């Protein structure tokens, strides 16, 4: 949906997703350099083919006038200010860098990092509503009390949970990613418990919501985007999550048996020793949690690869090889009837 022109004009540097409002117009914008290639036409003219990005999308750009100069000046990862004409080329938006435009590499204090940190499509309000639904649905008094203590009584902890990313590069690596991932896993677990009715539904959902809670200490937003903290590097989210939940369980005087089952789910949710779990899943609920959270992380990765690669090249059929998935993925599917 296009924004009203009068609203767009209030922004001095439009986001990439807003450029559809500026077709055949000249704009100045702030973007991050995702890729660059110095190429040459059959006639010997050199040009610089660029891919820019911000949190709203990816943009192809071409510099026909100062290709060598700007190629030497900028590096992949630089945040730059540039001017160009917005055109439609080969069915997609392209920015043609102006002849008299000087691509300027910006210092960290010359732009707002929020421009480049993606956010979950699940709003914080929606996330809170869904978590409250799960809390209300829990019948086990101890587990309900635990979730209330974490998500309602501890405001600092709850807010950190709502805003934290769930990853650095692989999956849900954006603001609000932790809440989105945890809620999605809990939602799938809820449906699994309807089929396998002998599972402990309350324990499964509680474990789903809390399995990655230690990630609130793993990541921070810096001028470079999402970065791993020292605690995330040295301790890691499994140990941090264990400590957070154990402290809350002790505070509400939870039984040792229930505490051990829930803490086991946090310790074992990676599923294998080589994937970082200090113990293998040894209860049905722990095994289900591992399988579902692993599936959600991989599907999120696949979705993001598909979305980003098709944005760059709508005609592309297969993705590049992805190390985290260990394969390429099919980008195009037949339309569903």
Residue 22: give its domain's CATH number: 2.40.50.140
For residues 147 and 279, membership in a common domain is answered with: yes
62: Cβ–Cβ under 8 A, 6 or more apart, which residues? 47, 48, 49, 50, 94, 95, 96, 97
CA–CA dist 268, 261 (Å, integer): 11
For residues 142 and 264, membership in a common domain is answered with: yes
Q: Report the CATH number at residue 214.
A: 1.10.3210
Q: Is residue 279 part of a domain?
A: yes
Helix (H) or strand (E) holding 225: strand 225-228
The answer to whether 118 and 112 have CB atoms below 8 angstroms apart is no
Confidence (pLDDT) at 188 = 98
Q: Rounded to whole angstroms, what are the CA distances from 22 to 12, 33, 42, 57, 94? A: 12, 21, 31, 16, 11
Residue 336 has pLDDT above 70, yes or no: no
Q: Is residue 119 part of a domain?
A: no
For residues 129 and 83, membership in a common domain is answered with: no
Mean pLDDT (the chain, rounded): 90
Question: What are the helix (H) ranges across 46-121?
Answer: 67-73
Query: 227: domain range?
Result: 124-301
For residues 194 and 264, membership in a common domain is answered with: yes
DSSP string, 144-189: HHHHHIIIII-HHHHHHHHH--S-SSSSS-SBTHHHHHHHHHHHHH
Longest dimension (CA), the chain: 78
Q: Is residue 321 part of a domain?
A: no
Nearest one of 21, 28, 88, 95 to 58, comparing CA atoms: 95
CA–CA dist 283, 37 (Å, integer): 52
For residues 172 and 264, membership in a common domain is answered with: yes
Summarised one tens digit per residue, pLDDT across range 97-150 is 998 888 999 998 888 888 888 888 899 999 999 999 999 999 999 999 999 999
Q: Is residue 306 part of a domain?
A: no
Residue 284 has pLDDT above 80, yes or no: yes
């Amino acid at each position: 949906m296009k924004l009203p022109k009068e609203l767009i004009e209030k922004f001095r540097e439009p986001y990439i997703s807003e450029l559809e409002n500026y077709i055949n117009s000249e704009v100045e914008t702030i973007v991050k350099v995702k890729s660059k290639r110095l190429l040459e036409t059959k006639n010997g003219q050199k040009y610089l083919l660029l891919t820019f990005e911000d949190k709203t999308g990816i943009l192809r750009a071409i510099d026909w006038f100062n290709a060598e100069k700007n190629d030497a000046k900028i590096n992949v990862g630089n945040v730059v200010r540039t001017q160009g004409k917005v055109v439609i080329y080969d069915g997609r938006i392209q920015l043609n860098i102006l002849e008299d435009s000087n691509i300027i590499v910006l210092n960290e204090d010359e732009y707002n990092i929020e421009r480049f940190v993606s956010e979950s499509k699940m709003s914080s309000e929606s996330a809170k509503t869904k978590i409250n639904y799960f809390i209300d649905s829990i019948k086990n008094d101890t587990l309900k009390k635990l979730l209330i203590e974490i998500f309602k009584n501890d405001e600092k902890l709850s807010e950190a949970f709502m805003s934290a990313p769930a990853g650095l590069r692989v999956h849900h690596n954006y603001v609000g990613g932790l809440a989105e991932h945890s809620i999605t896993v809990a939602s799938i677990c809820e449906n699994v418990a309807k089929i396998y009715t002998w599972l402990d539904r309350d324990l499964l959902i509680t474990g789903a919501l809390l399995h990655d809670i230690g990630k609130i200490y793993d990541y921070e937003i810096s001028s470079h985007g999402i970065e791993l903290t020292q605690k995330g590097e040295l301790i890691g989210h499994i140990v941090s999550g264990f400590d957070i939940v154990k402290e809350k369980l002790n505070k509400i005087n939870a039984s040792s048996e229930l505490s051990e089952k829930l803490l086991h789910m946090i310790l074992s949710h990676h599923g294998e020793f080589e994937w970082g779990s200090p113990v293998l899943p040894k209860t049905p609920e722990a095994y289900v949690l591992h399988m579902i959270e692993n599936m959600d992380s991989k599907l999120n990765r696949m979705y993001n690869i598909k979305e980003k690669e098709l944005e760059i090249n709508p005609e592309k059929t297969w993705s590049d090889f992805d190390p985290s998935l260990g394969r390429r993925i099919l980008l195009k599917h037949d339309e569903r009837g």
